[in-house]
Amino acid sequence: MSTRTQSARTDPVIESREQLIRPMQKGEKPKVDWRIGTEHEKFVYAKSDFHAPSYDEPGGIRDILMALTEYGWSPVEENGKVIAMAGPDGTVSLEPAGQLELSGAPVVNIHQTCAETGRHLTQVKAIGEKFGIGFIGAGMWPDKTRAELPMMPKGRYAIMSSYMPKVGNLGLDMMLRTCTIQVNLDYSSEADMAQKFRVGLALQPLATALFANSPFTEGKPNGFLSFRSHIWSDTDPDRTGMLPFVFEDGFGYERYVDYMLDVPMYFVFRDGKYIDASGQSFRDFLNGELPALPGEKPLESDWQDHLSTAFPEVRLKSFLEMRGADGGPWNRICALPAFWVGLLYDQGALDAAWDLVKGWDMAGRETLRDKVPELGLRAPIPGGGTLQDIAGEVLKIARAGLAARGELNSAGDDETGFLAPLQDIVAAGKTPAEVCLDHYHGDWNGDVTRIYETKSF
Q: What is the pLDDT of residues 50-63, one digit of tens each?
A: 999 999 999 999 99
pLDDT at 334: 98
pLDDT at 320: 98
CA atoms within 13 A on the CB side of 367: 15
60 close to 53: Cβ distance less than 8 angstroms: yes
Q: Which of 146, 167, 131, 205 is CA-nearest to residue 372?
A: 205
Question: How far does the chain reach from its first CA to its final CA, in angstroms?
Answer: 22
User: Could you count the other beta carbons within 10 Å of the beta carbon of residue 132?
Assistant: 12
pLDDT at 103: 98
pLDDT at 121: 98
Mean pLDDT, range 258-276, rounded to an integer = 96
Q: Which of 130, 133, 121, 5 is CA-nearest to residue 74?
A: 5
* Average pLDDT over the chain, rounded to an integer: 97
Residues with Cβ within 8 Å of residue 62, at least 6 apart in sequence: 55, 56, 81, 82
293 close to 268: Cβ distance less than 8 angstroms: yes
Q: Pairing mode, if any, of strands 320-326 and 36-46? A: unpaired
Mean pLDDT, range 231-244, rounded to an integer = 98
pLDDT above 60: residue 305: yes
137 close to 457: Cβ distance less than 8 angstroms: yes
pLDDT at 253: 98
Q: What is the pLDDT of residues 385-397, one digit of tens each?
A: 999 999 999 999 9
How far is residue 193's CA from residue 190's CA, in Å, rounded to a whole number? 5
pLDDT above 90: residue 301: yes
Q: What is the pLDDT of residues 2-11, one digit of tens each?
A: 555 454 557 9
61 close to 345: Cβ distance less than 8 angstroms: no
384: left (phi over 0), alpha (psi -120 to 50) or beta: left
DSSP letters for 232-288: HTTT-TTSEE--GGGGSTT-SHHHHHHHHHHSPP-EEEETTEEEE-TT--HHHHHTT
Q: What is the pLDDT of residues 333-380, one digit of tens each?
A: 999 999 999 999 999 999 999 999 999 999 999 999 999 999 999 999
Structure-derived torsion over alpha carbons of residues 14, 15, 19, 21, reported in degrees to the nearest 10 = 110
Q: What is the pLDDT of residues 398-420, one digit of tens each?
A: 999 999 999 999 999 999 999 99
Buried b (16+ CB within 10 A) or exposed e, 97-124: bbbbbbbbbebebbbbbbebbebbbebb
pLDDT at 3: 57
Mean pLDDT, range 232-258, rounded to an integer = 98
The CATH class, in words, for 17-455 is alpha beta
Mean pLDDT, range 159-180, rounded to an integer = 98
CA atoms within 13 A on the CB side of 364: 16
pLDDT at 212: 98
pLDDT above 60: residue 174: yes
290 close to 296: Cβ distance less than 8 angstroms: yes
Mean pLDDT, range 224-234, rounded to an integer = 98
Buried b (16+ CB within 10 A) or exposed e, 32-50: eebebbbbbbbbbbbeeeb
83 close to 103: Cβ distance less than 8 angstroms: no
pLDDT at 8: 52
Can you give the residue ranges of every domain in the chain?
17-455
